[in-house]
Amino acid sequence: MAKTKRDGYRVVHGGPRVRSTSVGINMTQEVWCPSPVGCVKLNCDAALTSDSYGVWGSSAWFKWSGDWLGVWMEASGIGRGSCEKACGSCVREKQVYGRMEIEVKGNSGIYGNKRVGDRQELWKIGRRVSKSEREMESLGTMLKHLDDLYPLLKLKMEANRAVKQIPLQPHWSFCYTVLHKVSRSFALVIQQLGPHIRDNVCVYYLVLRALDTVEDDPSIPTDVKVPILKTFHQHLYERDWHFSCGTKEDKKLMNQFHHVSTAFLELGKGCQEVIEEITQRMGAGMAKFICKEVETIDDYDEYCHYVSGLVGLGLSKLFHDSGLEDLAPESLSNTMGLLLEKMHIIRDYPEDIEEKTESRMFWPREIWSKYVNKLEDLKYEENSSKAVKCLNDMVTNSLIHVEDCLKYMSSLRDPAILRFCAIPQIVAIGTLALCYNNVEVFRSIVKMRRGLTAKVFDRTRTMSDVYGAFYEFSCILRSKVDKDDPNSTITLSRLDAIQKTCLHSGALNRRKSYMLDNESKHGPLVLFILLSVLGIIISKFVSRLAK
């Protein structure tokens, strides 16, 4: 058998059968091809199965059309009937294909004569999905939630309107264009702010996004990364400074950072001082945790403070500098960032565990060590019960910040600033509700469906809407609490406190439900538009098949 080359994987035309048998059977016409373009993540322990033949080979395979993707492993001496651990020396190179990234690591627990993981994971994780299939999947979701369509259309129109409002000056045009690329959701909430504060927040976000790109790039050696993080705030005043790192749109941001610096230098003095101060403090904190693991819950809170809590502090100062808001207490500003960051750390487990070393993961050892010996053990199917208990512990920890977040938002006076602050927080509590007691968090990224997110954008106008949304999502989370969970008493206590705060607001009877709407007042219009969209998608799908 030919060995895997570094400049490309073996391409196997034919692929495995749909049945759950050993991946590595019925493959023919082996040829070499250059590395394809794109990105697919494949976790070999979730994708490989073997019911009688052991695990074969030493190369990744896929059908050239992209319909199938998997990995062939070397399992020398492991044959029929063996249950020995294989995959001691798996393919370690990264190749790109589709939208995810192939990265197969050694010692991942592949066993001969034993099915490992769910066979459907091969479709979910490793299969390249065509645009037509994605459109049909989205259509299926809309058919289940017809009332999502109207908010989705409104959100799309709002996004188009925001793009048309991008300024013409080259540096500002770059800032708002790249903002839409690196974070469409934040771009929308930023651009609905008033003109006297919108530019300040846009530059603030891009500066901190650039700083985060440096911290997150594993290719930068520590002795290079740490000094850059500590001195990043000084480069804001250098019109020609840039540093190449990151990927995709983040790399574009870093390569053309001089546009951000130019925009920064046009801001008011007070705003510049706020951005510089927060950048300096955040960079120093990030540098600290480059060389420090998150061991305790206090470490966890400290890390979240540096990378997100400080963002909240800076925003409060920018709001105050604009004259639109009073200066909020630092403790409340900090907690706004902590809730968001903890949601992201929980949700992003499957991505982070594949891309980062354990020392660069931010689940605190104080929590996960109660359930497993290594953090990566949570992803294995045999540890699902322990993983879910650990997950629930993490979500329960994040709930402690909700009451202070509600207190912060209730003090805001400007409606646009309230929307800007509230929409991400509602998405955070909604995502935590989806993640709680959900083993899929360890298999793939769990997110709110697009239609539900569109409803959050559409229906978040006042503090009454915020209280209602938090109450509703806390009810959903509460319904998932298992009384046998070791942290259920604490979880229920924190949910009770959140719901009590929302009930005492007196606002719960003046809003529509996000999750419980079965009928839309726009029903006929929605159905007409949906049928039109369905006709367009089907015609495109048929025309592609004909080709």
- Per residue in 390-414, pLDDT (tens digit) is 999 999 999 999 999 999 999 999 9
Question: 42-46, 201-205, 370-374, 517-521: lowest mean pLDDT where?
Answer: 42-46
Is residue 365 flagged as an active site residue?
no
Question: In 3D, which of 405, 385, 350, 416 has the Cα closest to residue 485?
Answer: 385
Is residue 419 flagged as an active site residue?
no
Of the chain, the percentage scoring pLDDT greater than 70 comes to 65
* 129-159: pLDDT as tens digits: 445 555 555 655 656 667 778 888 888 888 8
pLDDT(69) > 70: no
pLDDT(280) > 80: yes
pTM comes to 0.72
- Give the angle 209-359-103 at the CA atoms, nearest 5°: 80
Tell me the DSSP string of 386-452.
HHHHHHHHHHHHHHTTHHHHHHHHHT---HHHHHHHHHHHHHHHHHHHHHTT-GGGGTS-----HHH
Residues 300, 420, 473, 514: which is the catalytic one? Answer: 420
- Helix or strand (DSSP H, E) at 61: strand 59-62
Mean pLDDT throughout 484-504? Answer: 96
Residues 300, 303, 306, 457: which is the catalytic one? Answer: 303
The reported pLDDT for the residue numbered 528 is 62
The reported pLDDT for the residue numbered 1 is 34
pLDDT(128) > 50: no
pLDDT(522) > 70: no
Are 369 and 293 a contacting pair, CB within 8 Å? no
Q: Residue 32 phi/psi, 5° resolution?
A: -100, 140
Question: 129-143, 275-289, 504-518: lowest mean pLDDT where?
Answer: 129-143
Is residue 510 flagged as an active site residue?
no
- Radius of gyration over every alpha carbon of the chain, rounded to an integer in angstroms: 25
Is residue 420 flagged as an active site residue?
yes
More confident call, 529 vs 49: 529
The reported pLDDT for the residue numbered 540 is 66
* 409-457: pLDDT as tens digits: 999 999 999 999 999 999 999 999 999 999 999 988 898 888 899 999 9
What is the torsion angle, in degrees rounded to the nearest 10, for the CA atoms of residue 198, residue 199, residue 205 and residue 208? -150
For residue 60, give both structure tokens. 């990744």
Mean pLDDT throughout 524-535? Answer: 62
Mean pLDDT throughout 372-377? Answer: 94
Residues 115, 281, 360, 365: which is the catalytic one? Answer: 360
| Strand duo 38-39 + 59-62: pairing | unpaired
Residues 119, 127, 347, 494: which is the catalytic one? Answer: 347
The reported pLDDT for the residue numbered 455 is 92
Mean pLDDT throughout 285-313? Answer: 95
* 180-194: pLDDT as tens digits: 999 888 888 998 898
Domains of the chain: 166-292 (1.10.600.10), 344-511 (1.10.600.10)
Of the chain, the percentage scoring pLDDT greater than 90 comes to 54
- Give the angle 160-258-314 at the CA atoms, nearest 5°: 70
State the greatest distance between any 2 C-alpha atoms of the chain, in Å, as a whole number: 74
Report how far residue 49's alpha carbon sits from residue 69's, in angstroms, rounded to the nearest whole number.
13
The reported pLDDT for the residue numbered 59 is 33
Q: Is 357 helix (H, G, I), strand (E, B) or coil?
A: coil
* 330-356: pLDDT as tens digits: 999 999 999 999 999 999 998 888 776
Question: In 3D, which of 278, 220, 285, 207 has the Cα closest to residue 247?
Answer: 220
